[in-house]
Amino acid sequence: MEASEDQSGSYTKRVLLPSGRAIEVVYFKDATEGAAHAAPLVEPDQRLNVCLSCQSELVYPVTWEEAGKDTWAVSLRCPGCEVRRDGVFNQHTVEAFDEALDAGTDALTSDYRRLCRANMAEEIDRFVAAIDADAVLPEDF
């Protein structure tokens, strides 16, 4: 994601979508922004997929939304110990978290496919054994 700011205070972000297409999003500064609205406190870089309580690496986002030009407000949940937390994180931290989520998705998908193949192989073996034992009749179909 790239961001650029002009003199009026508005800024543009170039966002790369999962489809590979890129879009530009223009943000306009609110006239009421300024001293009255302090910038949210940004937490230091950290691995967001790791639980601060139980060290599980299965933490996932419940919600996330932009909190500023280069920051994100993220609500996290650990499925291991049920700890939830909210925080504001910089772009780099959130991008690293997104990559960890993608890697986890790839691992789950791979395991799911392997399980499906194993289940199908077992069903085929049982069907072949039933045919060999003459236990399959036309009425079964």
**Percent of the chain whose predicted confidence (pLDDT) is above 70:** 84
The per-residue pLDDT of the chain, averaged, comes to 86
What are the residue ranges of helices labelled H in the chain? 91-132
Q: Tokens 């407000």 correspond to what residue?
A: 73
When computed from its CA atoms, the radius of gyration of the chain, rounded to whole angstroms, is 25
Instruction: Strand 2-5: give its sheet, edge to edge.
Output: 2-5, 11-16, 22-27
Q: Which residue did the predictor score with more confidence, 11 or 63?
A: 63
The amino acid at 14? R
Looking at residue 124, its pLDDT comes to: 95
Q: Which residue did the predictor score with more confidence, 68 or 76?
A: 76
pTM beyond 0.75, yes or no:
no
- The whole-number average pLDDT for the span 69-97 is 95
What are residue 124's phi and psi, to 5 degrees?
-65, -45
The rounded distance, in Å, linking the Cα atoms of 12 and 6 is: 8
Stated length of the chain: 141
Looking at residue 35, its pLDDT comes to: 44
Per-residue pLDDT band for 56 (boundaries 50, 70, 90) equals very high
Looking at residue 78, its pLDDT comes to: 97
The rounded distance, in Å, linking the Cα atoms of 75 and 84 is: 7
Euclidean distance between the first and the last CA atom of the chain, given in angstroms as a whole number? 56
Give the CA angle between residues 68, 72, 75 to the nearest 5°.
Answer: 140
Give SS3 for 41.
coil
Highest mean pLDDT of the ranges 11-20, 31-40, 96-105: 96-105
Looking at residue 36, its pLDDT comes to: 45
Looking at residue 125, its pLDDT comes to: 94
Per-residue pLDDT band for 21 (boundaries 50, 70, 90) equals confident
